[in-house]
Amino acid sequence: MGSGIKFISQVLNQKGAPALYEDIIDNRPAATFEGRLFFATDVVSGDTIFRDNGDGTWSALAGNGGGGANFINGVTNLGAGVGLGGSLDQDTEILLDAQSFKFTYNGDCLLLDPVNDLYYFGKGNALDAGCGTHTTATTIYTQYSFYPIGIELDFFNQIYKFGDFNNNANAGTSLIIDDSLQTIYTSRIGNDIGLKLNFDSSNYYLGDFDFVNSGTYLNINDNNGSINTYSSGNQVGIILSFDNRTYTLGDPSGSNNGSSFGVDDDQQTLTCTQVTSLDPGLLIAGWIKIKVDNNYYVMPYYSI
């Protein structure tokens, strides 16, 4: 190379990119130089890099803030965090900032929001009408429309619910497990009714044990070895005490007419109360031996 001649090669053309051009988008030249790349310096959100097709058209290659040529792009410096964002094809959106991440597609949504302690996957917006799953620091629950319904798992309070536990979507029927109280029970419209199993006290209930309606239910108490039926809070129907070996049928509490029949297996006695006598003119079919206060009585029974 001759003296006094200086050659500088700052841009190397490699396989079809002959030039780089940088300016504001309004100053982009006519597309007549095939392979040339144009960088728009004033675009905040949108396409910023274009390729000259040489036929009067430009092709978008990438963007700032999202959305060029079906690519996930547009990296924005957010200080402590880096975010991706923008609208892509097929109704797809990705939004990411230093505090949360949201991905939507055709109405479906994935939201990760550690600041507000909300993690959601499902149809629709996490805070509006939709069908999806929410996760917080201590709870997982499902939602339909505006209401939590289906499953609610509260790990902090050890309470686990299944059904319409908030009583505002349908009929309010649910099953609840309270591990802190060692209890399983069913509920309807906020009232405990149907089934209740208390493993801590060994008490098991079936029926209307919370007196929502008539208060008719069956109680099994494994602590004192008893099975009893109740109506309106009164022991009536069947009263079985296996620890005391006494068995009663009827209304021993006198809640109605007080008629009952009892067996005391320890005393080997039968007890009848408020039983109407039969016509003494009937033929005797047999006898019942009754012991009362160490005195024995014989009572005939008749064939009718």
The span from the CA of 254 to the CA of 190, in Å, is 32
Q: How confident is the model at residue 293, as a pLDDT?
A: 66
Q: Assess whether pLDDT exceeds 80 at residue 34.
A: yes
**Residue in 169, 199, 205, 173 with CA at minimum distance from that of residue 186:** 173
Q: For residues 201 and 196, what is the distance between their CA atoms, to the nearest angstrom?
A: 12
Question: Which tokens sit at 179?
Answer: 């591990």
Q: Is there a domain that residue 302 lies in?
A: no
Give domain status of residue 66, yes or no.
yes
Work out how many domains the chain is built from and give that number: 1
pLDDT score of 137: 77
What whole-number distance in Å separates Cα of residue 134 and Cα of residue 151? 10
Cα–Cα distance, 208 to 302 (Å, whole number): 39
Tracing tokens 């040489």 back to the chain, one arrives at 54
pLDDT band at 277 (very low <50, low <70, confident <90, very high): very low
Residue 101 domain-assigned?
Answer: no
pLDDT of residue 197: 95
| Sequence-separated (6 or more) residues with CB below 8 Å from residue 96 | 83, 84, 85, 102
Backbone torsions φ then ψ of 244, nearest 5 degrees: -90, -10
Whole-number pLDDT of residue 156: 93
13 in a structural domain:
yes
pLDDT by residue (tens digit) across 173-210? 999 999 999 999 999 888 889 999 999 999 999 999 88
| Chain centre distance of CA 77 | 38
Beta strands 147-154; 269-273: pairing state: unpaired
Task: Please write the tens of the pLDDT for every residue from 115-162.
Answer: 667 677 776 655 555 677 777 778 888 877 777 888 999 999 999 999
Residue 33 lies in a domain: yes
The reply to whether 118 falls in a domain is: no
Strand, coil or helix: 172 = coil
pLDDT at 59 over 80: yes
Q: Is residue 102 part of a domain?
A: no
- Indicate whether 62 pLDDT > 90: no
Question: What span, in angstroms and rounded, lies between the C-alpha atoms of 258 and 250?
Answer: 8
- Residues of the domain holding 16: 9-73
Residues in the chain: 304
pLDDT at residue 222, rounded to an integer: 94
Q: Would you say residue 44 lies in a domain? A: yes
Average pLDDT over residues 101-105: 67
Pick the range with the lowest mean pLDDT from 13-22, 50-59, 71-80. 71-80
